[in-house]
């Protein structure tokens, strides 16, 4: 097991000062930082073998293709997909979820069918289904959550019926950190013939994810939350489902042949990957997976859980501070509100002390509505964070309270 100092030295940005203070980056649920090993993968590609993939017979193209497709193989192993055909490379979680809605949903859901969406969802796992429902005459029903921020299990089971054809849920809530019982939810959904679509953006960077064990039908995540690049992500889908779905976009590598008489589409996974991909980003994602694997996902989960426990203990005793989302099973996210102080003011004050947190509704407005609040301040931790940074967060919160009161 590598020591924390060694790990932190891998991240150049952690050496930065903000407003005269050492950066304490606690906004990892929005985007994690990138280690030097992943940064180098980008420059190495551009300096040594920049070329288009899949189409060239020359050396550079072959090397680029090998590196890019190698990233797909790393993803397959990382999430334990049964084969590489089930790994679709996309621009991110949002693109992946839209792909499922536009291809699977538009093809197989019919008027009167029901979609279940949890009250914990990011907008990216709400809006595509609402749009599809409006287009096709579907009904959307909401799975409620408890006061602690957990899926209401009894309500979920009661909502399941033969009319339910699709369940959309996140693995980990970006707003509260709740870890949802996805494996159990998948079993229940399958028992009535529904498919389950999982937003895994907040889970894959922080814990071991085994899509075969979860038995989810679709699973989406993004590179930029797992020490990788922006603008790149993954859709996992069961081959039995992907093979029945029409193309989402057309052009480029998703085509085998074109004439004015007939068009032949490529096979999985390429049929869902139109156009020239962000090659360097794909290679970077492969490097990010290598980096996370070198530390170990179980180790990462333990380090982040320890930070969550420490932060929860330190913050929960502050008078006038309320933590929103207290589920027993949580990722390293602490969302809170301060009596009489708007989260945006809190975030501004923390930034003056070099502490980066997220404030707002976190693209999860239904969650905020559930608790009757406009926004929260969210501190989210990664394995490279420290208890000292949490101490600085606590001290800055105290200072903010003194200033505003």
The residue to which tokens 């870890």 are assigned: 179
The pair of three-digit structure tokens given for residue 310, joined into one six-digit string? 């420490």
Pairing of strands 321-324, 17-18: unpaired
Identify whether the C-beta of residue 313 lies closer than 8 Å to the C-beta of residue 393: no
Catalytic residue among 18, 241, 356, 363: 363
The residue to which tokens 């790994």 are assigned: 87
Q: Is 216 noted as a catalytic residue in this protein?
A: no
Strand partners for 117: 142, 168
Choose among 59, 57, 68, 60: nearest CA to 280.
68
Identify whether the C-beta of residue 175 lies closer than 8 Å to the C-beta of residue 360: no
Strand partners for 234: 89, 221
Q: Which residues are catalytic?
A: 363
């Amino acid at each position: 097991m590598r020591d924390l100092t060694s790990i932190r030295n891998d991240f150049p940005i952690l050496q930065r000062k903000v407003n005269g203070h050492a950066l304490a980056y606690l906004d990892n649920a929005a985007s994690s930082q990138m280690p030097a090993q992943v940064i180098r993968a980008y420059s190495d590609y551009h300096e040594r073998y920049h070329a288009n993939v899949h189409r060239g017979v020359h050396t550079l193209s072959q090397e680029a293709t090998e590196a890019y497709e190698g990233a797909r193989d790393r993803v397959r192993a990382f999430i334990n997909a049964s084969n590489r055909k089930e790994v679709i490379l996309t621009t991110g979680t949002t693109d992946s979820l839209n792909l499922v809605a536009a291809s699977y949903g538009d093809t197989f859901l019919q008027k009167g069918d029901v979609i279940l969406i949890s009250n914990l969802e990011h907008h990216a796992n709400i809006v595509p289904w609402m749009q599809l429902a409006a287009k096709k005459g579907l009904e959307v029903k909401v799975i409620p959550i408890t006061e602690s921020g957990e899926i209401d299990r009894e309500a979920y089971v009661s909502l399941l019926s033969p009319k339910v054809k699709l369940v959309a849920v996140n693995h980990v809530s970006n707003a509260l950190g709740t870890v949802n019982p996805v494996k159990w939810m998948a079993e229940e959904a399958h028992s009535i013939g529904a498919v389950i679509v999982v937003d895994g953006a907040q889970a894959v960077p922080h814990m071991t994810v085994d899509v075969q064990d979860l038995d989810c039908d679709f699973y989406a995540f993004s590179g930029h939350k797992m020490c990788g690049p922006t603008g790149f992500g993954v859709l996992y889908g069961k081959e039995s489902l992907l093979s029945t779905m029409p193309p989402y976009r057309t052009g480029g590598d998703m085509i085998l042949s074109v004439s004015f008489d007939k068009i032949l589409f490529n096979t999985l996974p390429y049929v869902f990957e139109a156009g020239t991909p962000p090659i360097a980003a794909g290679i970077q994602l492969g490097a990010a997976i290598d980096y996370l694997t070198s530390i170990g996902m179980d180790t990462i989960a333990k380090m982040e859980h320890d930070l969550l426990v420490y932060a929860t203990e330190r913050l929960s005793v502050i008078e006038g501070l309320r933590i929103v989302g207290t589920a027993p099973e949580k990722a390293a996210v602490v969302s809170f509100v301060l009596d009489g102080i708007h989260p945006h003011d809190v975030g501004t004050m923390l930034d003056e002390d070099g502490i980066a947190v997220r404030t707002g509704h976190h693209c999860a407005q239904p969650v905020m509505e559930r608790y009757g609040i406009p926004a929260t301040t969210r501190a989210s931790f990664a394995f490279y964070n420290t208890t000292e940074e949490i101490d600085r967060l606590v001290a800055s919160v105290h200072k903010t309270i003194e200033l505003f009161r």
